[in-house]
Amino acid sequence: MRVSWDIFCSVVDNYGDIGVTWRLARQLVAEQGCAVRLWVDDLAAFCRVCPEADEQAAAQLQQVVEVRRWCADWPPVAAADVVIEAFACQLPAAYIAAMAARGRPSLWLNLEYLSAEDWVGGCHALPSLQPKGLQKFFFFPGFSSDTGGLLREAGLLERRRAFQQDQQARQAFLCGLGVTPQTDARLISLFAYENPGLASWLDVLATDAQPSHLLVPEGRIVADLLSWLQRDALAVGTVLVRGSLTLQVLPFVSQDDYDRLLWSCDFNAVRGEDSFVRAQWAGRPLLWQIYPQAEDAHLDKLEAFLALYVAALSPAATAALLAQWRAWSSGAAMGSSWQALLEVWPELTAHAENWCSQQAAQTDLATALAQFYRNWL
**Residue 232: count of CB within 10 angstroms of its CB:** 6
Q: Is 17 a catalytic residue?
A: yes
Cβ neighbours for 51, distance < 8 A, ≥ 6 positions apart:
253, 254
Confidence of residue 13 (pLDDT cuts 50, 70, 90): low
pLDDT at position 133 over 90: no
- Determine the pLDDT at residue 1: 78
Mean pLDDT within 345-364:
98
- Determine the pLDDT at residue 14: 63
Cβ neighbours for 72, distance < 8 A, ≥ 6 positions apart:
none
Digit-coded pLDDT (tens) for 34-64: 999 999 999 999 998 999 999 999 999 999 9
Buried b (16+ CB within 10 A) or exposed e, 266-295: bbbbbbbbbbbbbbbbbbbbbbbbbbeeee
- Determine the pLDDT at residue 12: 80
Q: Is 273 a catalytic residue?
A: yes
Query: What is the chain's mean pLDDT, rounded?
Result: 95
Reference 177, options 288, 262, 284, 275; nearest CA is: 262
Catalytic residue among 6, 112, 273, 364: 273
Q: Coil, helix or strand for 162? A: helix
Confidence of residue 161 (pLDDT cuts 50, 70, 90): very high
What is the domain partition of the chain in residue ranges? 4-151, 156-360
Contact 307, 300 (CB under 8 A): no
Please name every residue paired with 110 in a beta bridge, in sequence order, or none if there are none: 85, 138
pLDDT at position 294 over 80: no
**Residue 18: count of CB within 10 angstroms of its CB:** 29
pLDDT at position 116 over 90: yes
Digit-coded pLDDT (tens) for 215-241: 999 889 999 999 999 999 899 999 999
Mean pLDDT within 71-76:
92
Which CATH code of 3.90.550.60, 3.40.50.2000, 3.40.50.720, 3.30.1330.10 fits the domain covering 156-360? 3.40.50.2000
